[in-house]
Amino acid sequence: LLRPAEDFVWLCVGLAAAPSVVFWGWVGRRWSVRGAFAVACLVAAGGVAMSVLVAGIWPVLLAAGLLGGTFVGLTALGLVSVRRMSVGNPRRNLALMTAAFGLGQMVGP
């Protein structure tokens, strides 16, 4: 059913991801980085749940947009949080976070 639309699903993910750092950065400055991170996690979870629970191409495309609109922004917000929480030079903590993310990407799928 969805195989012919697979390219469009990934297009929606990418188009939503492109402005997400700017958007979630703005939300983080307006509310707080923690608040923006929490809301972005909920939006991402809603998108993932929608992709599984709601049938049809339009819900799947919306779910792709929700996922794309959050995953890069979540990474950026996480890096901002680590930088702010670090004492002294944050490079080591940023490197550890990046390595943990990479490990999760290899193990997760």
Annotated domain spans of the chain: 3-107
Task: Average the pLDDT over 48-54 and give the result.
Answer: 93
CA 94, 99, 23, 36 torsion-angle sign = negative
Tell me the pTM.
0.85
CB 20 within 8 A of CB 64: no
The predicted structure's pLDDT at residue 27: 98
User: Which helix (H) or strand (E) covers residue 40, if one does?
Assistant: helix 33-53
Q: How many C-alpha atoms does 14 have within 13 Å on its Cβ side?
A: 6
Instruction: Report the pLDDT value the prediction gives residue 67, as an integer from 0 to 100.
Output: 95
